Structure 1
Amino acid sequence: MQHRHDSLSTPMKIMAVLVPIILYALVYVIRVSPAALKDYMTQMFGINMMQFGIFSSCSYWSYTPMQLFAGPLIDHFGPKISILVSCLLITLGMLLVAYSDHFYVVIIAFILMGIGSAFAFPTVMKVASDIFPKKVTLIAGFATCIGVSGAIAGQTILYRGLHYFGHVIMSSFSIVICAVLSFITWNFFYSEHSSQKTTSTIQDIMIDTQHVLTRKSVILSGLVGMCYLMPINTFASVWAISYFEQVHVLEPNAAADASTYIYYGWMIGCLSVDRVCRYASKTVVMSLGGILASITFTALVYFSFKTHLHVQILLILTGFFLGCQVLIFSLSAEAVSPKHTATAICCTNMLCMLSGFMQPLIGYILDLYWDGTIINEIKIFSEAGFQNALLIIPAFLIIGSMLSLQIKDSAPHQLHATQDTD
């Protein structure tokens, strides 16, 4: 059957896929940027760790509920408008971060960027289904790898850049990226014809969303994803650099490098889980992955491994075992009819992002066990303080492992075509 975008040239098709994927990578940079901004924020605004936890999670306040609306809005207005709006909101947020002297303005900035970020991955999937309907899985996997690469860049390049050049210049780089993506999108991106746009009303969208949220497998999949993203969205994205600096006494750059190893393992795990599921059901693979990740993460935090090699191995293994998290989107999509697949994925992703709201809790526990030590205007926390604060992560992994066994697996040995780690 002739597809409506077959008339596009191959370079235009590739460009149409790469633009939202690059935007998706920038979203990951934004997501992990609070870790790199920690010293600046605490010195500039004099905030405590609970306040920093609130700051680091504020983008999730807008990103999470926007998942309910991102899919339908992209379907209605098309990927071109969605990318432009996303770039505009991220640019506005970056400008506020760069030039604001008020803590609450910076929070507003990250909320705006959270709204813009919500469109990134759904747009990737929309473009993939429009242009390469038979290669959606491949594109989703590629987007995941590029997105995780953005997280690694945020933990390393951004961290170094902030120390060498300052937050204004580094924010300007992100603004330039958004400007380039906007220029390419405005001038070269394909547009949806009016006849292709949906005529769904808000009531129709809410009915579809309500229908999806009544599916037990969708809810359970989202909750499992929330539990399994705890090491990524709370530890790796926010607290890992401080942990390695203060507990393992690493130099700032070395601490930033160390925090990225969990992402390397995550990338390998995401790419390997397809083959593993040929020999076992997805729910069993997810349950086993959660248990193993809880063991390796507990060993990382609660056993005094001081050699860098041991820390790297444990981080890679934790990330690798967490790669099973991508299966939740397959299970969620299988639980609904094809016309509700996108809504199911967005609803599942919304529940996954609830893990970001645990960051203030970790900051609060750290403040409880702080002994008053301050060096260079930076609070120093003990190893015991970090151990008590990070205890919630293996606990959530165990909970997720148990919940995963309650999900109905309608295709035990076949990975569904949709994958995501957002």
Structure 2
Amino acid sequence: MVYADNAATTKMSRTAIDAMLPYMETHYGNPSSLYRLGQEAAEALQSARETVAACLGCTPREITFTSGGSEADNQALISAARIGERKGKKHIISTAFEHHAILHTLKKLEKEGFEVELLPVDPIGTVTAQQVADAIRPDTCLVTTMYANNEIGSILPIAEIGAVCREKGVLFHTDAVQAAGHLHINVNEQNIDMLSLSGHKFHGPKGTGVLYARQGIPLTNIIEGGAQERGKRAGTENVPGIMGLAAALKEACDHIGENAAKVSALRDQLIAGLSQIPHSALNGDPVHRLPGNVNFCFEGIEGESLLLLLDQAGICASSGSACTSGSLDPSHVLLAIGRPHEVAHGSLRLSLCEWNTQEDVDHILKEVPRIVAYLRSISPVWKDLASGKKQFML
């Protein structure tokens, strides 16, 4: 089997598993308990906080552990909104191709009277710092942009956007779920006030995440109960999961350069090979993109059919089409960069990690063109395109 859906989730590393096991088997105490078993867990929790902080370039007190990126996104946006509300500022800036954890939270805030402005993205899927600067108003309380897009892999100019926000005195949050462990991050150098990440995107366990919030930013609780996480996130901490996240993040950051070089080389081979398929197009920035991300549209086919046939060929991938979620609409990300509905439905995302091999790439490049050709051969839409009855868009 070729696993090429690492943007969806990654296989846990041996390092993460080994870091977790002692806190399942031996040091299983509740970190809030005063006896030795509990304090051993509390010490482990602090060591994990220090590890994550070192990877992000911040202090341990600025780290809050969550259940994942979605929870961290929710808490960041709601906290910034409440800060702005107290100051009479209720304008929020984001982008049109954010993850739904951001977009749905913004919709919720709109119902509470906040004004949300979604900046358009260009055809390669990026937003400039100048766009952000032009959009900021006296009543802007937050700018939130993803660090790198989860579907098309485009990397945004985070440091530049952060600098604009810092100059204007506006809080800046970035959803770094796809970037953490794969791209260098330093929250101070990049003027980031809040950042979200998720453990399972870099070989850590599912159900673990982090919210970084710069010291002095008061967080609004979205889970009430106990006094865990300095009173800002109730619930007994998932110590084994947190230890796995911290170990996986440190391992990823320690090898970030060599991993990026290897994965980028495989990515570029895939892009070159898939570009040979007629009437296909790469989605996303061809230069400033995540090391492992490859996203293509193939005209005249449906992405769901492509995924099912790839699965039969032993390849795990994903599509921009949302058909499997019960929606007939294609990816909002692909629509945001200007792909027509008909083309956006025929998309394929392949996402690699450092464990993928040359053999994996060779297999993908053998099977994808074959399957695309087969699907086109049975497609009435393709027959209309090939006959000239309809015009090609790619």
Greater helix share, 1 or 2?
Answer: 1
Greater strand share, 1 or 2?
Answer: 2
TM-score (norm 1): 0.27
TM-score (norm 2): 0.28
Larger radius of gyration: 2
